[in-house]
Amino acid sequence: MAMGSTGKVVINGEMQAAKGVCSNFRSEVATFLSDLNSTVDALFASGFQGEAANGFKFFYENNVKAFLDNGGTFDNFMKMFDEEGTGLFDSIEKALISTNESLDPSLGENNKSVGQSAGTPAQQ
């Protein structure tokens, strides 16, 4: 950026390109979140049920959806899934390993508690 003789900031081509990249990224994230909502809705509409389903639904509505509705960032959102040891992926893996590759009813409780150790979504 350079100051022009009128005292206005002049944004060069690189800055304009960076603004475009940021705009595209925001659009892609919005599309991703819309796709995620559609996928979760389709999952439950297809008959996903039982304790694991109830736990996942609780987790999704009370963590993912509530987190984003309260202004959580995309990076913080992704940590709920892939954070080492406490994310949803690790919780599912631990449940499957402990039950010899079959779903354990305690997975529902695990899903409800994912992300709770760091406080409620609005506090993060």
pLDDT tens, 73-117?
777 777 777 777 777 777 777 766 665 555 556 766 777 777 665
> Which DSSP state fits 50?
S
Residue 19, number of CB atoms within 10 A of its CB: 11
Residue 80, number of CB atoms within 10 A of its CB: 22
Residues 44, 61 within the same domain? no
Residues near 58 by Cβ (< 8 Å), separated by ≥ 6?
108, 111, 112
Residues 108, 70 within the same domain? yes
Q: How do the residues of the chain divide into helix, strand and coil, expressed in percent and rounded to 5?
A: 70, 5, 25
Domain that holds residue 5: 1-48
pLDDT of residue 107: 65
pLDDT of residue 104: 59
Residues 59, 110 within the same domain? yes
Q: How far apart are CA 118 and CA 84, in angstroms?
A: 13
Residues 28, 69 within the same domain? no
